[in-house]
Amino acid sequence: EQTLVPVRIKLREIRKERNLTLTEFHQYLSEKGVSISLPNLSKIDRGIKGASLPKINEFAKALDRPLESLLDFTEAEPCTPSN
């Protein structure tokens, strides 16, 4: 049996570091090849929805960061996975 650990994805912090609106951030990710709808990105940004490990890896590659730099285990709340 696999135990799932809730994790918060630090997209909002990265987006704010880059001084981007959510729409601009969505466009940037799209240009880098990440396929995600704006509503789903918004939910992940706000911590309402999670993302699959492959999707988090896509974010990391698009943002040129190590995967683990996007993960925060300290403030995680259980959330619904999203693709």
CA–CA distance, 48 with 55 (Å, rounded to integer): 16
pLDDT range class, residue 78, cuts 50, 70, 90:
low
Task: Read off the pLDDT of residues 39-71 as tens digits, 9 standing for 90 and up.
Answer: 999 998 988 888 888 899 999 999 999 998 888
CA–CA distance, 64 with 48 (Å, rounded to integer): 24
